Amino acid sequence: MLKIKYITGAYPHLPGYPTAEDVFYDMLTEYCSRKEDRRLKFTSVMLEKKYPSVSPNVMNEHLTHLEQLGLISEVNRTSAFTSFQIKHNPYSLV
C-alpha cells in the first residue's frame, strides 16, 4: 500500500530523507515518467545526481537494504557506475 507521505508529496521534507524506501519510490516515479526508455533500470550515477548530499556509504546501505528486500538487483557494475533493476513493485495493483 502506498504511504500517505508519497500521496501528499511531503516525503522530501521529512527528517531522514531520503530513506531507502524514498529512493525506491523516486526511482519508480522516474521510471513511470519516461517517454521512451521504459526499462525498470537505474544507475548509481542517476542516484548521485538526484541525491548529491547523500554520502556514498549511506546510499550503498539503502541499496543493500532494497536488495535484501528483493525489490532491486544489481545487473551491471563497471568502474564508472553500477546498474540496478527493479524486480518487484509493491505499490502495483496488478
What pTM did the predictor assign? 0.86
What pLDDT, in 10s, does the model give residues 59-85? 999 999 999 999 999 999 999 999 999
pLDDT at 89 over 80: yes
Please report which residue ranges of 1-92 form alpha helices under DSSP H: 4-8, 20-33, 44-50, 56-68
3-state SS of 71-92 is CEEEEEECCCCEEEEECCCCCC
Structural domains in the chain, sorted by start:
15-86 (1.10.10.10)
Least confident among 2-6, 59-63, 90-94: 90-94
From CA 94, how far away is CA 81, in angstroms rounded? Answer: 32
